Structure 1
Amino acid sequence: MKLLAPLGDEVSVWMDAPPAEVWDLVSDVTRIGEFSPETFEAKWTRGSTGPEVGAYFAGHVKRNGVGPTYWSPCRVTACEPEKVFEFSVGTDAITVNNWGYRLEPKDGGTLVTEYFRLQPALPTRLYWLVLGPLRGRTNRRGMRTTLERMKAVVEK
């Protein structure tokens, strides 16, 4: 029996579009406000202008779509065109979690998987012990919403 929920999760949606079209959406952080129910805008920062490993951006977040907003600093940690786009959330010194998208050609389209994983540090484990089930459900719903909204755009 597991005492803690896994420190992450993922949701996959098949899209009737080639990986190149899907890649253009998942790797353009300035478009996230069109898709995410929580991150309503993002901008490249620190001189970054596009997706590449080491590029910085900030996401403007409204947790659960309500309440106060805040900016989350992010850094691209994996960037393989048409395959994977991943970024860490946190400061230069501390990563809180990682989010990403995996793209897999499948059945003439693309299987797109959005995922997150929390860092295994003790404060994160304590947070997840208390709020993990609720936050996990919210994250799964948010990932599904994001992917379904992207699907609607690429399948137009």
Structure 2
Amino acid sequence: MSPPSASVSIHVSAPPETVYELVTDVTDMSGWNVECESAEWVGPIRGPRPGARFRGRDRNGRRRWSTLCTVTVADPHRVFAYGVRAGGLLDVAIRRFEITPSGTGCHVEQSTWDTRGPVLRLLGGLVSGVRDRAARERADMLRTLERLKAAAEAVGAPPSTGG
């Protein structure tokens, strides 16, 4: 796979299991994801499994749009990734969360790949109000990971390693 369009990471003082549960609970994603207004599972496969789909409703100020996402990777406590389609028709992005255990919790990296062609990039900028998507993605993903960190750490810190 090519390098991501944007990628950010953060250290979280919570177990990988806690973080994975948060990123895969798409129905509660709006609690920590900056752009997401709401999301719900759709179709016969529900939950974080490859092939499962969920509809996201996103916003930027007064602008709102809908996406249809398909889970591509669901490796418990390690990776959650999904493809994003605008209006359920046109591929626009791939989103990926990688979770790596550390001695004091875990390292979380969020990456995105912009899969739009030139025409869709222009139209996407008009719909979302975002001209420089990569710069905006980095800023939003950093805020998203900071909110994810706060949510995960509120649930509980990792067990003590002794001492």
Give the TM-score band, short-chain normalised.
0.7 to 0.9
Aligned to 1:72: 67
Q: 1:68 to 1:54 in 2, by over 3 A?
A: same
Q: How does 1:72-151 map to 2 (within 5 A)?
A: 72-90=67-85, 94-119=90-115, 121-123=117-119, 134-151=132-149
Q: TM-score, normalised by structure 1?
A: 0.83
Structure 1 gap ranges (5+): 1-5
C-alpha contact (below 8 Å) 1:87/1:100 kept by paired residues: yes
Quick check: 1:61 aligned with 2:58? yes
Aligned to 1:45: 42
C-alpha contact (below 8 Å) 1:97/1:117 kept by paired residues: yes
Q: Structure 1 vs Structure 2: percent identity of aligned residues?
A: 31
Q: 1:49 to 1:97 in 2, by over 3 A?
A: same
Q: How does 1:1-20 map to 2 (within 5 A)?
A: 8-20=5-17
Q: 1:136 to 1:127 in 2, by over 3 A?
A: farther
**Matched residues in 2 for 1:142 and 1:53: separation?**
25
The letter of the residue matching 2:5 is G
C-alpha contact (below 8 Å) 1:96/1:118 kept by paired residues: yes
After TM superposition, the runs of 4+ consecutive aligned structure 1 residues lying more than 3 A away are 91-94, 120-128
Structure 2 gap ranges (5+): 155-163
**Matched residues in 2 for 1:19 and 1:7: separation?**
22
| Root mean square deviation of aligned Cα | 2.4
Give aligned pairs, total.
147
Q: TM-score, normalised by structure 2?
A: 0.80
**Matched residues in 2 for 1:44 and 1:23: separation?**
17
